[in-house]
Amino acid sequence: MKELDPQSKARLLTAIRDVPDFPKPGIVFKDITTLLNDAEAFGLLMDHLAERYRDAKLSYIAGIESRGFIFGAALAAKLGVGFVPIRKKGKLPAATIAEKYALEYGFDEVEIHIDAFRGQKGANVLLIDDLIATGGTAEAAIKLIQDAGGTCVEACFIIDLAFLKGREKITPLAPVYAVLEID
Protein backbone atom coordinates (compact mmCIF):
# COMPACT_ATOMS: atom_id res chain seq x y z
CA MET A 1 0.00 0.00 0.00
CA LYS A 2 1.13 3.49 -0.81
CA GLU A 3 2.91 5.78 1.67
CA LEU A 4 2.93 9.55 1.50
CA ASP A 5 5.84 11.29 -0.25
CA PRO A 6 8.21 13.50 1.79
CA GLN A 7 6.97 16.79 0.26
CA SER A 8 3.36 15.96 1.16
CA LYS A 9 4.40 14.91 4.66
CA ALA A 10 6.12 18.26 5.13
CA ARG A 11 2.96 20.04 3.95
CA LEU A 12 0.82 18.17 6.50
CA LEU A 13 3.29 18.83 9.31
CA THR A 14 3.12 22.57 8.65
CA ALA A 15 -0.68 22.36 9.00
CA ILE A 16 -0.49 20.90 12.53
CA ARG A 17 -0.14 23.36 15.40
CA ASP A 18 1.99 22.69 18.50
CA VAL A 19 0.39 23.84 21.75
CA PRO A 20 2.98 23.88 24.56
CA ASP A 21 2.06 22.86 28.10
CA PHE A 22 -1.32 21.35 27.18
CA PRO A 23 -3.01 19.55 28.85
CA LYS A 24 -0.31 19.91 31.51
CA PRO A 25 3.16 21.46 31.81
CA GLY A 26 5.87 19.76 29.77
CA ILE A 27 3.50 18.31 27.14
CA VAL A 28 3.53 19.62 23.57
CA PHE A 29 0.03 18.90 22.22
CA LYS A 30 -0.28 18.19 18.49
CA ASP A 31 -3.40 20.14 17.52
CA ILE A 32 -4.99 18.75 14.35
CA THR A 33 -7.77 21.37 14.25
CA THR A 34 -5.48 23.53 12.12
CA LEU A 35 -5.11 20.61 9.68
CA LEU A 36 -8.88 20.18 9.56
CA ASN A 37 -9.55 23.85 8.80
CA ASP A 38 -6.89 23.91 6.06
CA ALA A 39 -8.96 22.60 3.12
CA GLU A 40 -5.92 21.90 0.95
CA ALA A 41 -4.03 19.94 3.64
CA PHE A 42 -7.13 18.02 4.77
CA GLY A 43 -7.94 17.18 1.15
CA LEU A 44 -4.37 16.01 0.57
CA LEU A 45 -4.56 13.74 3.60
CA MET A 46 -7.96 12.27 2.75
CA ASP A 47 -7.00 11.70 -0.90
CA HIS A 48 -3.86 9.89 0.25
CA LEU A 49 -5.77 7.67 2.69
CA ALA A 50 -8.46 6.89 0.09
CA GLU A 51 -5.76 5.89 -2.40
CA ARG A 52 -3.95 3.77 0.19
CA TYR A 53 -7.07 1.83 1.20
CA ARG A 54 -9.07 1.81 -2.06
CA ASP A 55 -8.16 -1.82 -2.88
CA ALA A 56 -7.97 -3.10 0.71
CA LYS A 57 -11.41 -4.76 0.53
CA LEU A 58 -12.59 -2.96 3.66
CA SER A 59 -16.04 -3.61 5.07
CA TYR A 60 -15.91 -0.88 7.73
CA ILE A 61 -13.77 1.86 9.18
CA ALA A 62 -13.76 2.13 12.98
CA GLY A 63 -12.78 5.46 14.51
CA ILE A 64 -11.74 6.08 18.09
CA GLU A 65 -13.51 8.89 19.96
CA SER A 66 -13.34 11.66 19.18
CA ARG A 67 -10.86 12.77 16.54
CA GLY A 68 -10.88 9.34 14.93
CA PHE A 69 -14.53 10.02 14.10
CA ILE A 70 -13.55 12.93 11.86
CA PHE A 71 -10.98 11.05 9.79
CA GLY A 72 -12.86 7.75 9.88
CA ALA A 73 -16.24 9.08 8.77
CA ALA A 74 -14.70 11.17 5.97
CA LEU A 75 -12.66 8.20 4.72
CA ALA A 76 -15.62 5.80 4.97
CA ALA A 77 -17.68 8.17 2.81
CA LYS A 78 -14.87 8.42 0.24
CA LEU A 79 -14.53 4.61 0.08
CA GLY A 80 -18.24 3.78 0.24
CA VAL A 81 -18.00 1.65 3.40
CA GLY A 82 -19.67 1.85 6.80
CA PHE A 83 -18.31 3.78 9.77
CA VAL A 84 -18.27 2.35 13.31
CA PRO A 85 -17.62 4.55 16.37
CA ILE A 86 -15.53 3.29 19.27
CA ARG A 87 -16.55 5.42 22.23
CA LYS A 88 -15.80 6.01 25.87
CA LYS A 89 -17.87 3.99 28.34
CA GLY A 90 -21.53 4.90 28.59
CA LYS A 91 -21.81 6.91 25.35
CA LEU A 92 -23.29 4.29 22.99
CA PRO A 93 -27.07 3.77 23.21
CA ALA A 94 -27.47 0.02 22.51
CA ALA A 95 -25.85 -3.18 23.83
CA THR A 96 -22.05 -2.93 23.86
CA ILE A 97 -18.81 -4.80 24.42
CA ALA A 98 -16.26 -3.01 26.60
CA GLU A 99 -12.48 -3.15 26.94
CA LYS A 100 -10.44 -1.57 29.74
CA TYR A 101 -6.97 -0.14 29.25
CA ALA A 102 -4.34 1.23 31.59
CA LEU A 103 -3.64 4.91 32.05
CA GLU A 104 -0.68 6.43 33.88
CA TYR A 105 -2.81 6.47 37.05
CA GLY A 106 -5.77 4.10 36.78
CA PHE A 107 -7.89 2.74 33.96
CA ASP A 108 -10.30 3.88 31.28
CA GLU A 109 -12.70 1.97 29.08
CA VAL A 110 -13.93 2.04 25.48
CA GLU A 111 -16.96 0.36 23.94
CA ILE A 112 -18.35 -0.79 20.61
CA HIS A 113 -21.88 -1.91 19.77
CA ILE A 114 -22.26 -5.69 19.81
CA ASP A 115 -23.82 -5.51 16.33
CA ALA A 116 -21.32 -2.96 14.96
CA PHE A 117 -20.56 -5.12 11.92
CA ARG A 118 -24.18 -6.10 11.31
CA GLY A 119 -23.49 -9.77 12.06
CA GLN A 120 -20.78 -10.01 9.39
CA LYS A 121 -18.17 -12.34 10.91
CA GLY A 122 -14.63 -11.62 9.77
CA ALA A 123 -15.52 -8.15 8.43
CA ASN A 124 -12.38 -6.34 7.27
CA VAL A 125 -12.03 -3.28 9.47
CA LEU A 126 -9.58 -0.38 9.34
CA LEU A 127 -9.02 1.28 12.72
CA ILE A 128 -8.22 5.00 12.53
CA ASP A 129 -7.34 7.73 15.00
CA ASP A 130 -5.53 11.03 14.89
CA LEU A 131 -2.56 9.96 16.97
CA ILE A 132 -0.86 7.05 18.67
CA ALA A 133 1.02 7.77 21.88
CA THR A 134 1.41 4.89 24.35
CA GLY A 135 -0.97 2.63 22.41
CA GLY A 136 -3.37 1.69 25.22
CA THR A 137 -6.52 3.03 23.60
CA ALA A 138 -5.62 1.56 20.20
CA GLU A 139 -4.86 -1.82 21.75
CA ALA A 140 -8.27 -1.83 23.46
CA ALA A 141 -9.98 -0.75 20.21
CA ILE A 142 -8.39 -3.58 18.21
CA LYS A 143 -9.52 -6.08 20.83
CA LEU A 144 -13.06 -4.66 20.60
CA ILE A 145 -13.06 -5.05 16.82
CA GLN A 146 -12.02 -8.68 17.24
CA ASP A 147 -14.56 -9.31 20.02
CA ALA A 148 -17.32 -7.91 17.79
CA GLY A 149 -16.37 -10.42 15.07
CA GLY A 150 -14.24 -8.20 12.85
CA THR A 151 -10.66 -8.45 11.61
CA CYS A 152 -8.52 -5.36 12.08
CA VAL A 153 -6.61 -5.29 8.78
CA GLU A 154 -4.59 -2.24 9.81
CA ALA A 155 -4.45 0.48 12.47
CA CYS A 156 -3.94 3.88 10.86
CA PHE A 157 -2.84 7.04 12.66
CA ILE A 158 -2.26 10.49 11.28
CA ILE A 159 0.60 11.02 13.79
CA ASP A 160 2.82 8.50 15.58
CA LEU A 161 4.62 9.94 18.60
CA ALA A 162 7.37 7.37 18.03
CA PHE A 163 9.29 8.23 21.21
CA LEU A 164 6.39 6.83 23.29
CA LYS A 165 6.62 3.43 21.52
CA GLY A 166 2.86 2.85 21.26
CA ARG A 167 3.30 1.12 17.91
CA GLU A 168 5.21 -1.68 19.64
CA LYS A 169 2.18 -2.42 21.83
CA ILE A 170 -0.25 -2.88 18.94
CA THR A 171 1.93 -4.35 16.17
CA PRO A 172 1.38 -7.89 17.54
CA LEU A 173 -2.39 -7.35 17.07
CA ALA A 174 -2.50 -5.59 13.68
CA PRO A 175 -0.25 -3.91 11.13
CA VAL A 176 0.29 -0.20 11.82
CA TYR A 177 0.49 2.71 9.40
CA ALA A 178 1.28 6.24 10.50
CA VAL A 179 1.11 9.03 7.94
CA LEU A 180 3.51 11.15 10.02
CA GLU A 181 6.09 10.17 12.63
CA ILE A 182 7.39 12.51 15.29
CA ASP A 183 10.47 11.45 17.25
Strand partners, 155: 127, 176
Amino acid 164 reads L
CA angle (2 as vertex; 9, 5 as ends), nearest 5? 25
Q: Strands 96-103, 106-113: parallel, antiparallel or unpaired by DSSP?
A: antiparallel
DSSP letter string over 45-82?
A: HHHHHHHHHTTS--SEEEEETTHHHHHHHHHHHHHT-E
Active site residue 67: yes
Active site residue 181: no
> Catalytic residue among 11, 54, 67, 181, which?
67
Residues serving a catalytic function are 67, 104
